[in-house]
Structure 1
Amino acid sequence: MADFQKEEVVEAVKSKSPLKAPDMIKGRKDLQEINGTNIVLIPKTNSPSNMNQFRSISLCNMLYKIISKILVNRFRKVLNICIDEYQCAFILGRQITDNILVAYKILHSFKKKKKGSTESFALKLDTSKAYDRVELNFI
C-alpha cells in the first residue's frame, strides 16, 4: 500500500468534527495515549441489573480515526467492484431497506410457481441480536 499523502491526511482531519478531538486538531498531543482505546459499557435498559443488559463500545483515539478515514477514502474507489450488488448496508448510495423490495420480489416469484415444485426454498434468519450473543473471548 502506498504511503499516506499530505492531502489525504488534511482531508481526513478536516472531515472530523473539531469537538471530537480538539487537542489533537489544535496540535497538542499526548503520545502516551496514542494507541489507547477506552471501552465503555452502555446500558440497554433503564435500570440494568446484570452484565447482559449492557453493550460495550470502544472509543478510539483521533489518530486511529484519521488512519481509518484515509483507508475508507481509498477503498471507496473500488468498493462497488469488490462488494456484491445485494450488500446494501454501509455502501454510499445504497440502503439496507432496498433489500425489502428484493425479498418481496423473491417471495412473489415463489408464490407464482406451481404448487409442489421443489426447485426453491426460503430461509428467514433473525440476526437482530447477533452481536449480543457473541462470547467476549471470541472477539
Structure 2
Amino acid sequence: MNRPATPPAAARHTSRIRRSVLAGVVLLIAEVAMGCLEDGFSVAAVTLAALLSAPLWLALPGLQRGTRRTYAWTSLALAFYLVLALMETVANPSTRRWAALGLFVTLTVFVLVIAYLRLSRPRLQEAPTK
C-alpha cells in the first residue's frame, strides 16, 4: 500500500510554519536594522545594517518557495544572530532591549525552521507485504 509522501495534515502545518518563518525572518531583518540605526542614520550604520541582514535577505526567496536546503542553511545562519543578540544583551546595556527582542525572535525562528524541516522531510514508503 503506497501512502502519500506527506499527509494532508502535515501539509497544512508546513504551510503555516513556512508563513511563520517568513514573518519571523522579516521581523528579524527589521530588528537588526532598527538596532543598527537606533543612534541615527549614517553611512556606517546603514552599511552595518545591510551587511548584518544580508544572509536573511538571501534566504527569503528560498524560504518562500519552501526549499528544504535553504531552511537547512538558514538554521545554521541563525547561530550568528543568536550569538550577536547574546553578546549585546550581556555587553551593551544601552541596546539590551533590542538584543532581548532579537534573542527571542531568533530562537523562535530557529524552532520554526527545525519544525519545518522535520515535517517536510520525505517519508519512506512502506515495502509491500507478501
TM-score when scaled to structure 1? 0.27
Query: Greater RCO between the two (CA within 8 Å, min separation 6)?
Result: 2
Give the number of the structure whose alpha-carbon radius of gyration is greater.
1
TM-score when scaled to structure 2? 0.29
Q: Give the structure with the larger strand fraction.
A: 1
Q: Give the structure with the larger helix fraction.
A: 2
